[in-house]
Amino acid sequence: MEKFDIIDKKILFSLQSDCRLNTKEIAAKVDLSVTATYERIKRLEKTEIIKGYVAIVNKEKIGKSLIAFCSVSLQLHSKPLLNKFEEAITKIDEVMECFHVAGTYDYLLKIVVTDMNQYQDVITNKLAVIENIGQVQSSFVMTEIKNETAYKL
């Protein structure tokens, strides 16, 4: 874990709240000079505490209203087969997140699509064609209760 102090935490909080803030605005919030703030932000980027900057898009406004979580079990668990599965999953655009998990299943996928027809297409033509898949269990989101992007520090 990287070391950072209260000022770094304030900078990170500010950027997580609104990454469009300029250095001068952040400096005012953290009570530091613009130059010192700029240097801290660059250090946070260089050490990859800040991995990047993004716009959070409203998925409903772009027609992506169906979210499914798919638990996937593989038949065999050799390192080459795990790598092959992971490489194939990264090429499926509708898979927004993929986690290698412990428990009953091997992977948990978050799939976001327009509707059930598109979901069926993803499962049938993109996921089911990956070799070594043993079982897929799908759960569909009824209501999104909480979706945070900012980490509390």
- Give 22-79 as a DSSP string: -HHHHHHHHT--HHHHHHHHHHHHHTTSS----PPP-GGGGT--EEEEEEEEES---H
Alpha-carbon span 9 to 30, nearest angstrom: 9
Please give the residue range of the domain that contains residue 37. 6-46
> How many domains does one find in the chain?
2
Q: Looking at residue 90, what is its pLDDT?
A: 97
Report the chain (153 residues): mean pLDDT per 10 consecutive residues: 87 95 97 97 96 94 97 96 97 98 97 98 96 96 94 90
Q: Give me 38's structure tokens.
A: 């700029």
| Whether residues 67 and 134 fall in one domain | yes
Residue 151 lies in a domain: no
Q: What is the CATH number of the domain that holds 94?
A: 3.30.70.920
Residue 55 Cα distances to 9, 51, 76, angstroms = 21, 14, 38
